[in-house]
Amino acid sequence: MNQYPDLNTSPRILLGPGPSMVHPRVLRAMAHPLVGHLDPQFVQLMTEVQELLRYVFETENKITFPVSGTGSAGMDAAVCNFVEPGMPVLACVNGYFGGRLCEMASRYGADLTRLDRAWGTVFEPKEIDDALKSKPAKLVMIVMAETSTGALQPLEEIAKIVHNHGALLLVDCVTSLGGMPVKIDETGIDIAYSGTQKCLGVPPGLAPLTVNGRAVEALHVRKTPVPSWYFDITAVEHYWGPERTYHHTAPISMNYALREGLRMVQEEGLEARFKRHHENAELFWNGLKDLGLEPVVEIAYRLPSLTTIKVPEGVDAAQVCSRLLNEYNIEIAGGLGAFKGKIWRVGLMGYSSSRENVVLLLAALDRILNH
C-alpha cells in the first residue's frame, strides 16, 4: 500500500466562490484540544455560538444554531423541515442554487411552482405577487446572494408580499451572511441558512440556521414527520436549547472555529465589516473597468462578496483560472451550469476581502490577459 507524505498543500490565496481564506486565529482555534459534546465547557460554548450567530443574522430568533454539515446541509435541513408531500411551494430561480432548492423540494414531495428569471438578474416584487395570486403557496424559496451569478436579491418588499399571501419565506444566505446586512427580523425572513466558509471566514463544515416563531408554528403542525432524523429541527433544538439533550455529537473543532470566526466579526463590528466588503468590491470593480472587463450583474444588484465577470471573446476561461492558480497561487472559479465557460467568479469574502488581495488579483489578471 502507498505511503503518504506529510500534509503539504499550498497556502492558497482563495478568491473563488468559497471556501475563503481563514484567519490564523480561527485556524489556531481548530487545533485546540477537544472537550466532550456534553461537557459543561462545550455547553457554554454552544450558548456563545448561538448568541454570536443571532448578532450576525440580526435576529432574536431562539432557534438559531449551526447545522452539523456544510452549507448544502443547511439548505437540505431548511427544505426538509418546511416542505411536506403535496405542499404548494413557490421557488424563485435565477441561478444554480435556486435550481438546487427546487431539486430538494421536489424530492420531499412539494407541489412545486418554479418561477424562472434570467441568470444574473433579480426578481421584482410584483412577479412574486402575481405568481402567488395565480397559484397560492405555503412556502416561498429564494436566494439572497446567488453564488452562481453574483446577483443580490432585495427582499424587503418580497417578504411583505409573501406574508400577505400567508406563506413563509425561506432565504438562502450562504454568500451574504457576514459580508452584508441580512436583517432577518427587520426584513421578516422566516427561515434562513448559510455556510461558514464564505463571508464568515471559517472553514466549511457548519451551516448556520435561524427560524422564527411563525416558522416554528408551521413545524409543530406538520402532518408527517420530518424525513431526515439528522436534520429534524424539532429534535436538534433540544440539544441546542436550554435542556441540551443529546441528539448527535456536535463537530467540536468546527464549533471552536465558528466561535472564533464570529468573535472576529463582533470585534470588527457588522457595519465596519460590511463597509470593508463593499470598499474592496468597489476597488475591484474599478480595476476591472481599467482592464476592459465587464461584470455580469448591473451595479445596483451586484454582490459585494462575489463578482461575476464576462469572459472576453477569444479568451479560454479555464486556462486563465489555471494560470492564476499555477503561476500566482490564486484561486478564482469559472461559471456553473448556464454560465459554464462564459464567466469568472471572484469572491472577496471574510478574511479574503482585503485591499492587497484585490490589487494582486488585478495585477495578475492584467499580466495574463494583456501581456
Rounded to 5°, the CA angle 102-103-107 comes to: 110
Nearer to its own copies, 159 or 320 (CB): 320
Q: With binding defined as CB under 8 A, does residue 243 bind its own copies?
A: no
Pick out residues in 130-189 that bind its own copies (CB under 8 A): none
Binding its own copies (rule: CB under 8 A), the pick from 154, 188, 241, 251 is 251
Altogether, the residues listed in the chain come to a count of 371
Q: How far is the CB of 100 from its own copies (least distance, A)?
A: 7
Of the candidate spans 117-125, 160-168, 244-252, 300-308, the one that interacts with its own copies by CB under 8 A turns out to be 244-252
Q: How far is the CB of 349 from its own copies (least distance, A)?
A: 13
CA distance 178 to 196: 9
Q: With binding defined as CB under 8 A, does residue 48 bind its own copies?
A: yes
Nearer to its own copies, 105 or 131 (CB): 105
Question: What are the φ and ψ backbone dihedral angles of 202, each rounded to 5 degrees?
Answer: -120, 150
Of the candidate spans 101-109, 121-129, 130-138, 183-191, the one that interacts with its own copies by CB under 8 A turns out to be 101-109
Contacts of 288 (CB under 8 A, 6+ apart): 294, 295, 307, 309, 362
- Evaluate whether 187 touches 179 at the Cβ level (below 8 Å): no
DSSP codes joined into one string, 124-140: -HHHHHHHHHHS--SEE
Closest of 104, 122, 48 to residue 231, by C-alpha: 104
The grid cell for 190 is: 422566516
Other beta carbons within 10 Å of 5: 6
Distances 242 to 47, 63, 90, 231 between C-alpha atoms, Å: 9, 11, 34, 19
Pick out residues in 275-314 that bind its own copies (CB under 8 A): none
Pick out residues in 310-369 that bind its own copies (CB under 8 A): 325, 331, 333, 336
Q: How far is the CB of 7 from its own copies (least distance, A)?
A: 5
- Evaluate whether 48 touches 259 at the Cβ level (below 8 Å): yes
Of the candidate spans 56-64, 212-220, 248-256, 304-312, the one that interacts with its own copies by CB under 8 A turns out to be 248-256
Contacts of 276 (CB under 8 A, 6+ apart): 268, 353
Q: With binding defined as CB under 8 A, does residue 273 bind its own copies?
A: no
Helices 71-82, 233-240: crossing angle, 10 deg rounding: 120
Q: How far is the CB of 31 from its own copies (least distance, A)?
A: 4
Distance from the Cα of residue 74 to its chain's centroid? 9
Pick out residues in 191-230 that bind its own copies (CB under 8 A): 195, 197, 203-205, 225-230
Q: With binding defined as CB under 8 A, does residue 234 bind its own copies?
A: no
Q: How far is the CB of 278 from its own copies (least distance, A)?
A: 23
Of the candidate spans 127-135, 215-223, 256-264, 301-309, the one that interacts with its own copies by CB under 8 A turns out to be 256-264
Q: How far is the CB of 237 from its own copies (least distance, A)?
A: 16
Q: Work out the widest C-alpha separation in the chain, in whole angstroms.
A: 64
Nearer to its own copies, 190 or 331 (CB): 331
Q: With binding defined as CB under 8 A, does residue 238 bind its own copies?
A: no
Nearer to its own copies, 325 or 359 (CB): 325
Question: What are the φ and ψ backbone dihedral angles of 295, each rounded to 5 degrees?
Answer: -65, 155
User: Residues touching its own copies: how many (CB under 8 A)?
Assistant: 82
